[in-house]
């Protein structure tokens, strides 16, 4: 590989072999140009608003730590005429992940994916500005095939078939994720996924019997290693219960030995993993590369298949042929699923809130949203309210906007509350008056006795 810059606006890269995904590499963050004179002059403070130099559609104008970033239009941007926004305000993670202050304060037009608590997702689905889509990543469990009983392919297949992915994604995670039985995520144009693994308890018990553990009898204890997270723990406990329920002999009350291993312990037979595609790099080449030999196996500890080396798409003579490369990857995934060293569980998703009058933000596989052409309608919030009050899919109920509204809505809400409180307080005061008046020995009876006493006349 060689790099040359014959002039100020040309970059030439010579590759050692055909690399079909090279154009995607040039979009990654590390190849972005950096102003060398600015870095040398200001050192670590070159990214401060008063020092930074950039070539994007917006420039940093204000930054307050743990609060917000402010961006203004960059007049030196090469396509500045198409930039629709004059200003952007981005709140930091600490403020964005809490719905209360920014959203109820009605200042956030777009709450990106990753900052909405999963517990809120079922309720946010009712709103017009909620969006849900696929993100290019898969949550899975990997197995250490060097340890018994996971060195037996029938045991690995049994564990795979005994996992109810629909229950985990739809019930446990409240539909914030999508069930997924493949290893490669969606988002690769032209890629055909092989048949994925499905929940099949009968087939799971059949595979376990072929492995020599009928009804789970004699199956050694299988531990699950997961990192610190409440969702990871809940998923591990759910899979533990599924394995016990589906693979155990219910008539004999014999269950497979399954345990949970907290983080920080030795490598467990089964561990929680995830494959998340690098941003701007939509390519599944990692699948055959990670399984060509036990020494380089990164998908599952100790697992590899020599046949993948023959089909490695890195070969000079065929790596540039896209249909051929995708066909090789599809066969590699089919082999991986058949051998069972991984347990796919769910497909990652995006969950975000976008006001109905905001345009230019769309669902993407990599969850990347260029804001160059992003904007809003001229009618602003009034248009947002009109769009948000459309009919919802559940029982014909109107879907409201989670982030739409203005001060008039707040004032109207307060007035309605006051109008409701006035008659309520009048009823409470009236009942209190009559109860005190009717109570024996109350203050009203004492006043009545005093008023009936006649004053004595002096002689």
**% residues pLDDT > 70 (the chain):** 72
Q: What pLDDT, on the 0 to 100 scale, is given for residue 58? A: 94
Check residue 177 and give left, alpha or beta (phi > 0: left; psi -120 to 50: alpha): beta
Looking at per-residue pLDDT, the higher value among 437 and 153 belongs to: 153
Give the residue extent of every domain in the chain.
Answer: 132-350
Name the H helices within 19-120: 22-25, 36-42, 93-96, 100-104
Residue pair 290/142 in contact by the 8 Å Cβ criterion: no
Count Cα neighbours of 130 within 13 Å in the Cβ-side half-sphere: 17
Res 293: pLDDT: 46
Q: What is the pLDDT of residues 304-326, one digit of tens each?
A: 776 665 555 444 444 445 677 78
Consecutive H or E run containing 331: helix 322-339
> Exposed, middle or buried by CB within 10 Å (0-12, 13-18, 19+), for 313?
buried
Distance (Å) of CA 247 to CA 141, 219, 232, 239, 389: 18, 10, 22, 12, 50
Residue reference for tokens 């079909």:
20
* 299 pLDDT above the threshold of 80: no
For residue 71, the model assigns a pLDDT of 94
Three-state secondary-structure class, residue 72 = strand
Q: Work out the angle at residue 170's Cα, subtended by the Cα atoms of residues 168 and 171, and round it to the nearest 5 degrees.
A: 70
Instruction: Write down the pLDDT at residue 200.
Output: 95
Question: Does position 102 have pLDDT exceeding 70, yes or no?
Answer: no
Residue 56 pLDDT greater than 70, yes or no: yes
Buried b (16+ CB within 10 A) or exposed e, 373-398: ebbbeeeebebbbebbeeeeeeeeee
For the chain, give the mean pLDDT.
77
Model pLDDT, residue 452: 53
> By three-state DSSP, how is residue 7 classified?
strand
Residue 399 has pLDDT above 80, yes or no: no
- Strand bridging mode 130-143 / 110-111: unpaired
Q: Give helix 407-438 / helix 443-452 axis angle, nearest 10°.
A: 50
- How confident is the model over 333-364, as pLDDT tens digits? 898 899 889 999 999 999 888 888 888 888 88
Q: State mean pLDDT over 176-181.
A: 92
What does DSSP say about strands 375-376 and 258-261: parallel, antiparallel, or unpaired?
A: unpaired
Q: Which residues, 6 or more positions from 72, have their beta carbon under 8 angstroms from its beta carbon?
A: 58, 59, 61, 86, 87, 88
CATH top-level class for 132-350?
alpha beta
Please tell me the predicted confidence (pLDDT) of residue 161: 96
Between 190 and 344, the higher pLDDT residue: 344
Residue with the two structure tokens 């609060």: 67
Quickly state the pLDDT bin for 402 (edges 50, 70, 90). Answer: low
Residue whose token pair is 């009936």: 452
pLDDT band at 409 (very low <50, low <70, confident <90, very high): low
- Confidence (pLDDT) at 274: 85
* DSSP letter (8 states) at residue 388: H
Q: What is the pLDDT of residue 127?
A: 83
Q: Is the pLDDT of residue 275 over 50?
A: yes
- CA 31/CA 204 separation, integer angstroms: 48
What CA–CA distance (Å, rounded) separates 274 from 139? 4
Rounded Cα–Cα distance for residues 261 and 225 (Å): 5
Which segment of 40-44, 169-173, 195-199, 415-419 scores lowest on mean pLDDT? Answer: 415-419
């Amino acid at each position: 590989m060689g790099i040359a810059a014959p002039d100020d606006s040309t970059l030439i890269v010579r590759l050692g072999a055909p690399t079909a995904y090279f154009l995607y590499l040039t979009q990654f963050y590390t190849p972005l140009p950096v102003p060398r004179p600015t870095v040398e002059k200001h050192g670590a403070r070159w990214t401060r608003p008063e020092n930074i130099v950039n070539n994007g559609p917006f420039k940093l104008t204000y930054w307050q730590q743990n609060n917000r970033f402010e961006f203004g239009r960059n007049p030196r941007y090469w396509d500045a005429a198409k930039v629709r926004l004059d200003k952007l305000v981005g709140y930091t993670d600490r403020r964005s992940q809490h719905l209360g202050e920014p959203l109820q304060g009605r200042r956030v037009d777009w709450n990106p994916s990753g900052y909405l608590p999963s517990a809120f997702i079922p309720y946010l689905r009712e709103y017009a500005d909620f969006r849900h889509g696929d993100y290019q990543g898969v949550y899975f469990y990997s197995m250490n095939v060097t340890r018994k009983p996971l060195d037996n392919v029938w045991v690995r297949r049994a564990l795979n078939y005994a996992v109810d992915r629909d229950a985990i994604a739809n019930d446990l995670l409240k539909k914030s994720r999508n069930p997924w039985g493949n290893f490669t995520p969606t988002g690769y144009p032209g890629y055909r996924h092989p048949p994925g693994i499905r929940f099949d308890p009968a087939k799971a018990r059949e595979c376990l019997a072929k492995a020599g553990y009928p009804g789970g009898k004699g199956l050694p204890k299988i531990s699950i290693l997961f990192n610190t997270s409440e969702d990871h723990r809940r998923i591990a406990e759910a899979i533990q219960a599924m394995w016990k329920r589906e693979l155990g002999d219910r008539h004999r009350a014999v269950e497979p030995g399954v345990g949970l291993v907290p983080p920080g312990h030795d490598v467990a037979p089964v561990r929680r993993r995830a494959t998340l595609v690098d941003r701007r790099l939509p390519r599944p080449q990692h699948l055959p590369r990670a399984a060509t030999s036990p020494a380089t196996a990164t998908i599952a500890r100790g697992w590899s298949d020599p046949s993948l080396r023959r089909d490695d798409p890195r070969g000079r003579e065929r790596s540039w042929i896209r249909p051929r490369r995708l066909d090789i990857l599809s066969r590699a995934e089919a082999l991986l699923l058949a051998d069972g060293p991984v347990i796919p569980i769910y497909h990652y998703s995006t969950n975000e809130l976008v006001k109905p009058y905001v345009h230019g933000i769309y669902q993407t596989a990599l969850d990347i949203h260029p804001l160059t052409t992003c904007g809003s309608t001229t009618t602003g919030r009034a248009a947002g309210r009109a769009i948000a009050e459309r009919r919802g899919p559940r029982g014909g109920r109107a879907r409201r906007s989670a982030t739409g509204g203005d001060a008039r809505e707040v004032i109207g809400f307060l007035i309605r509350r006051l109008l409701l409180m006035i008659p309520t307080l009048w009823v409470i005061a009236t009942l209190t008056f009559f109860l005190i008046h009717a109570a024996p020995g109350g203050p009203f009876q004492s006043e009545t006795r005093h008023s009936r006493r006649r004053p004595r006349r002096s002689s």
